[in-house]
A and B are shown apart, each in its own frame.
Chain A
């Protein structure tokens, strides 16, 4: 056991990975065709919004804050596309995609400014933004509006043998991977761990924070696109569902709410775990209410286990 613990501590996502693997095996036992090439694109497409909302929650948490408006931002992006851009003739991918992503990133940046410049508590700032986005989504698409055929369908299906969902998740992953090669992520983690120290060392914490929330917004925009892919309509009612799911995925994946620890892989495995659990219970014929119960219980146990396993024993010498 003693050899295993340091592993968990070095890779915060290890626990969620393990959980995901166990659930995957169980899923395969219950429905052997779970990973079949015919079903896989659909499975991944349903998974993609979960994962992406988890991604979207992560940078702000790493920076030492939190963003509970990423779910509503994803559904807002969805409503924006279906209810406004398409009817306005801007539905083409080389017009719509940049607009959606720019708007989403812009809203993320606004969150960042509220937190870093106006200096509101992150919960307060993003709760206010949550109300705003829910209201805006309801205003532009009170009832679901069906979307005509559009380019997002590709992400629900596939391009050749590549499942489309891998593209959306992949783009986000690539962006993060590219950022890791720069000093940004290192600055981000330092800011999250102690903004006073980072500031005193010369890091531009204001810029780092704003960028973190902007990145989260960008990922939420991509999540909105992935969401549109599977629902093919505007769904303003989903805002509350996704609002907190991304958070759960990120924390289950080992990202510490205190900041400075974690990453996108954690959100990936966290979201996958949650998704696989629901799939498993549904396939086993469990009632939806009990599925919700199980989800809640697993979340609690998972977070507590993760916190105790990962309790970073970083200070060796008492000081």
Chain B
């Protein structure tokens, strides 16, 4: 009888990056044949733990063993060779290469291909059809939708027939159908003995798929719970260290005058025109499956994208068309979806990232007044409960949630009447999410209009006065507050309107 514990085991793992202790005491036991979810906020050490397992980082202390044998991967390659396949959040497809090449990327040696062409095709075909449906193998990957590309990355891990499969927020970009297919495949793999580590911020997914859940908080493993003892409230309180939380639905305020209007807006050449009115103090949610037009729509409202139809800002003096340049002057602020690619200036300081669009306010005789900038920053930092070391530190030192708050402050500082937020809580931990919801609630009470695009249905149900659900590049349904629920929104995703009026 062999006494070695089977599966992947982390004991007492710690890792520090410069001044930050990302993981202090990480414990995890991933058994073969189970789907184990790792839960934790940003800053809990979850992402670092995943990267350690995936071979990107090495722990400062503690042990990692696979079936009793110590694991010491210095690169994702080495982890792969040991049978650990990780799908990281940051891993993408190579757009100019074919789907087939992408699926097998990294599985070959530097020169030698491990398998013959025909075998590669059949295995890739098999795996892809199970998780993503029909995907043409010879098309350049860049021509596929975001969900299909995410599936390719997952397929990349699956074709290696790993002992341990790690999925780091891999469901974030999948459409609902692909996600369901993936879950079926995961259960099949688990039944076959694969150990699966699953990470997601979505509670509904966690509840659906997990056999066991481990919660991390502040770099430590706090609890491990079996499926049978799963309680979402308990998990959340373990993650935040908060005992209980009342799920308060926002009460809509009486909206004021119309301040933004879109007329005959088309998101694609042949799609149905959209007419839209935004009133002062409203919170409007935008929802839909990935790629159905809500992203394009919010960009049209912001003036960042162009197309048929008009978007005007209604001012006391008259209507003004929105363009890329005049958002500032018209009091419209847009917070983009991709923090790194579209918002952050990583080597610049926190303070500077905040002040950039509003530097005009800190000028004195043509030169910048650093004290004025500092004063404005401090005011917002207090009001949004920002947590950071020093304002001059590079913004890259902050957690995702705090970075998002700095960006929110950046746009609030422009004193907008309309705030357009594109997936503002993506990659943000639950605690900070709640803070952001409270901030938005307060802002709308003060008369600001907010449009929030979100891929999390629960969030919209909590936040919005009404929700526009997009399908096929147009508004399929508008769900008023009285009918707002997870079911009605998801039903609209799939084309069912129930008692909803358009």
Is A in direct contact with B (CB under 8 Å) within the complex?
yes
Q: Within 8 Å of chain B (Cβ to Cβ): is A279?
A: no
Residues of B within 8 A of A197 (CB): 90-94
Q: Within 8 Å of chain A (Cβ to Cβ): is B143?
A: yes
Contact A260 B94 (CB under 8 A): yes
> What mask results when residues 70 to 94 of chain B are scored 1 for a CB within 8 Å of chain A, else 0?
0000011100100000101011111
Q: Within 8 Å of chain B (Cβ to Cβ): is A143?
A: no
Contact B291 A319 (CB under 8 A): yes
Q: Within 8 Å of chain A (Cβ to Cβ): is B501?
A: no
Instruction: State the interface size on chain B (CB cutoff 8 A).
Output: 37
Dominant SS among interface residues on chain B: loop
One of B80, B96, B105, B144 near A260 (C-beta < 8 A): B96
Contact A186 B105 (CB under 8 A): yes
A315 to B147, CA, bound (A): 12
Contact B96 A203 (CB under 8 A): no
Q: Within 8 Å of chain B (Cβ to Cβ): is A89?
A: no
Least CB distance from A109 to B in Å reads 14
One of B76, B101, B146 near A186 (C-beta < 8 A): B101
Least CB distance from A199 to B in Å reads 6
> What mask results when residues 189 to 222 of chain A are scored 1 for a CB within 8 Å of chain B, else 0?
1100110111111111001100100000000000
A204 to B106, CA, bound (A): 8
Q: Within 8 Å of chain B (Cβ to Cβ): is A288?
A: no
A211 to B75, CA, bound (A): 19
Least CB distance from A181 to B in Å reads 9
Instruction: State the interface size on chain A (CB cutoff 8 A).
Output: 31
Contact B143 A187 (CB under 8 A): no
Residues of A within 8 A of B91 (CB): 196-197, 200-201
Contact A202 B146 (CB under 8 A): no
Contacts A182-B113, A193-B96; A203 near B106 (Cβ below 8 A): yes
A202 to B102, CA, bound (A): 12
One of A194, A312, A318 near B92 (C-beta < 8 A): A194
Contact A182 B94 (CB under 8 A): no
A260 to B142, CA, bound (A): 12
A211 to B295, CA, bound (A): 41
Q: Within 8 Å of chain B (Cβ to Cβ): is A149?
A: no
Contact A189 B111 (CB under 8 A): no
A318 to B54, CA, bound (A): 30
Contact B96 A318 (CB under 8 A): no
A319 to B109, CA, bound (A): 32
Q: Within 8 Å of chain B (Cβ to Cβ): is A184?
A: yes
In chain B, positions 374-393 with a C-beta closer than 8 Å to chain A are none
Q: Within 8 Å of chain A (Cβ to Cβ): is B156?
A: yes
Pick 13 A–B contacts, CB within 8 A, sort by A.
A179-B111, A183-B108, A183-B109, A190-B94, A196-B92, A201-B156, A202-B105, A204-B77, A204-B110, A211-B110, A314-B95, A314-B143, A317-B146
- Listed in ascending order, the chain B residues whose CB lies under 8 Å from chain A are 54, 56, 75-77, 80, 86, 88, 90-97, 101, 105-113, 140, 142-146, 156, 290-291, 295-296
6 smallest CB-CB distances across A and B, nearest first, come from A314-B142, A202-B106, A201-B106, A319-B146, A183-B108, A200-B91
